[in-house]
């Protein structure tokens, strides 16, 4: 196995249109740009990875273009020529020589695990110890910004048995307007579906107190990242002030963030994302902190396509049932795909791919069609 080495790493920018404008507090998306990694090994196996973010630089410090450039210029040279099989050693090599760049590192780690799984005839979930669940629940985000459209969309997803819980993206509008929008949707859905909100860091703490109280009164079941990520003390105060749980997302990127929040008295839930934790292993390290502290878990997304979504699913499948489910709906937000076989969404969830590695194969014609020229 040590004789098998990484021969080449190629990255591609792939632009896929969304089924409708996706409105968040920091950006409105009509297209998702993914960075696809194709990692070739000396035994002829190719590993696939994906690095995706939201709205260019609107969400965080890595953009699709910087992810590609930093992999090509700095990270790939650290891996090419190295033995393929020791993923932990390769992760340590990247960490030692490159700061940050969590999304880029996640894409490379995913490609390493995909190749190793294909080589051994094991799924990525099996490489991580084995799947404890093969069908994971998936909620849907209502983000058109139009109350009537969001209500109609929710009922359509319920009738199709596609989703039975919904998240609303708010924070771009005045708080009273957002609360009216959310309350109207919750009233329309009643007990048929759970409703939660993601503020994407848009409020200050005083605004959050007013907004959360109104949302709690409206029957909203979870409040995601109401205030900026670095305001840990404020997030802890909000978690302790209200009955409705707070979901830490941007505030908890890795196990150290999780430990800091727990030590400060946070009593809510953590959103897991392989991209913000630098890969599957980093996300699972955060899980261990959460489980030790009795913190609920939620499988989050950066609106990845099928490759990145499958990678997350393999990690989440190794866990006990997560208290808040997952939002691994990224591929459903896209008008088309670059894989031969899409993920199987049904009965309010998605099936874990069973084939070796990620269980995903590229559709070469569509890949060429949607890829930018390198």
Residue 20: what pLDDT?
79
SS (H, E, C) 141-171: EECCCCHHHHHHHHHHHHHCCCCCEEEEECC
CATH code, 333: 3.20.20.120
Whether residue 173 sits in one domain with residue 84: no
> What distances in angstroms separate CA 36 from CA 10, 104, 276, 297, one per listed residue?
8, 10, 17, 27
Q: How many CB atoms lie within 10 A of CB 8?
A: 14
Answer yes or no: is 304 within a domain.
Answer: yes
- The mean of the pLDDT values for the chain is 95
Query: By mean pLDDT, which of 21-30, 34-43, 301-310 is the weakest?
Result: 21-30
pLDDT greater than 70 at residue 26: no
Q: What is the pLDDT of residue 27?
A: 66
At residue 96, the pLDDT reads 97
What is the tens place of the pLDDT at every residue in 282-295? Answer: 999 999 999 999 99
Judge whether residue 29 has pLDDT over 80.
no
CATH number at residue 45: 3.30.390.10
Within this chain, do residues 70 and 89 fall inside the same structural domain, yes or no?
A: yes
Q: Find the domain containing 289 and state its range.
A: 127-351
- According to the model, what pLDDT value does residue 55 have? 78
Q: Does 1 map to a domain?
A: no
pLDDT over threshold 90, residue 198: yes
Both 213 and 289 in one domain: the answer is yes
Q: What is the DSSP letter of 123?
A: B
25 pLDDT band, cuts 50/70/90, is: low
Residue 60 CB partners (closer than 8 Å, separation 6+): 53, 103, 250, 276
In a domain, 319, yes or no: yes
Q: pLDDT tier at 296 (50, 70, 90 boundaries)? A: very high
E strand or H helix that includes residue 6: strand 6-23
Going from the C-alpha of 196 to that of each of 185, 199, 282, 305, the distances in angstroms are 11, 10, 26, 23
In a domain, 13, yes or no: yes
pLDDT digits (tens, 9 = 90+) for 113-132: 999 999 999 999 999 999 99
Indicate if the pLDDT at residue 33 is higher than 90. Answer: yes
Assess whether pLDDT exceeds 70 at residue 331: yes
Rounded to a whole number of angstroms, the distance between the first and last alpha carbons of the chain is: 32
pLDDT tens for 125-171 read 999 999 999 999 999 999 888 999 999 999 999 999 999 999 999 99
Q: Is the pLDDT of residue 23 over 80?
A: no
In a domain, 357, yes or no: no
Query: What six digits make up the tokens of 150?
Result: 């969001």
- 118 and 162 belong to one structural domain: no
Q: Are residues 46 and 177 in the same domain?
A: no
Residue 47 Cα distances to 4, 248, 253, angstroms: 13, 32, 25
Residues 200-236: b if buried by 16+ CB within 10 A, e if exposed: bbbbeeebbbebbebbeebbbebbbbbbbbebbebbb
Are 165 and 308 contained in the same domain? yes
Q: Which residues are catalytic?
A: 169, 327
Whether 227 is in a domain gets the answer yes
Clarify whether residues 34 and 157 are in a common domain. Answer: no
Average pLDDT over residues 83-91: 95
Shared domain for 257 and 145, answered yes or no, is: yes
Specify whether 268 is located in the same domain as 304: yes
Domain contains 188: yes
Q: Do residues 144 and 61 share a domain? A: no
**Residue 147 and residue 71 share a domain:** no
Query: What pLDDT, on the 0 to 100 scale, is given for residue 60?
Result: 82
pLDDT the model gives residue 59: 79
Q: Over pLDDT 70: what percentage of the chain?
A: 98
* Number of domains comprising the chain: 2
Residues 38 and 170 in one domain: no
Instruction: Reduce the DSSP state of residue 267 to 3 states and report it.
Output: coil
């Amino acid at each position: 196995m040590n004789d098998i080495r990484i021969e080449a790493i190629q990255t591609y920018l792939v632009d896929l249109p969304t089924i409708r404008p996706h409105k968040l507090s920091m950006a409105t998306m009509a297209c998702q740009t993914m960075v696809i990694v194709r990692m070739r090994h000396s035994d002829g196996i190719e590993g696939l990875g994906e690095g995706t973010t939201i709205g260019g630089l609107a969400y965080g410090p890595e953009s699709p273009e910087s992810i590609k450039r930093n992999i090509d210029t700095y990270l790939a040279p650290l891996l090419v020529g190295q033995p393929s099989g020791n993923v932990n050693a390769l992760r340590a090599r990247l960490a030692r020589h490159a700061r940050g760049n969590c999304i880029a590192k996640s894409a490379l780690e995913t490609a390493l695990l995909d190749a190793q799984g294909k080589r051994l005839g094991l799924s990525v979930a099996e490489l991580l110890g084995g799947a404890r669940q093969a069908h994971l629940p998936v909620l849907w985000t209502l983000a058109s910004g139009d109350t009537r459209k969001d209500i109609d969309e929710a009922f359509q997803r319920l009738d199709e048995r596609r989703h039975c819980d919904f998240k609303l993206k708010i924070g771009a509008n005045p708080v009273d307007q957002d609360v009216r929008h959310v309350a109207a949707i919750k009233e329309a859905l009643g007990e048929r579906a759970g409703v939660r909100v993601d503020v994407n860091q848009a409020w200050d703490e005083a605004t959050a107190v007013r907004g959360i109280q109104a949302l709690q009164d409206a029957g909203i079941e979870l409040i995601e990242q109401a205030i900026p990520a670095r305001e840990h003390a404020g997030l802890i105060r909000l978690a302790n002030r209200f009955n409705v749980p707070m979901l830490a997302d941007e505030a908890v990127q890795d196990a150290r963030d999780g430990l800091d929040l727990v030590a400060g008295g946070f009593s809510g839930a953590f959103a897991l994302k392989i991209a913000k934790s630098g890969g599957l292993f980093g996300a699972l390290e955060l899980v261990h902190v959460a489980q030790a502290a009795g913190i609920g878990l939620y499988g989050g997304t950066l609106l990845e396509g099928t490759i990145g979504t499958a990678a997350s699913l393999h990690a989440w499948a190794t866990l006990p049932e997560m208290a808040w489910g997952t939002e691994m709906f990224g591929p459903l937000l896209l008008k088309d795909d670059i894989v031969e076989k899409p993920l199987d969404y049904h009965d309010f969830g998605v099936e874990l791919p069973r084939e070796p590695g990620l269980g995903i194969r590229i559709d070469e014609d569509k890949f060429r069609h949607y890829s930018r020229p390198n």
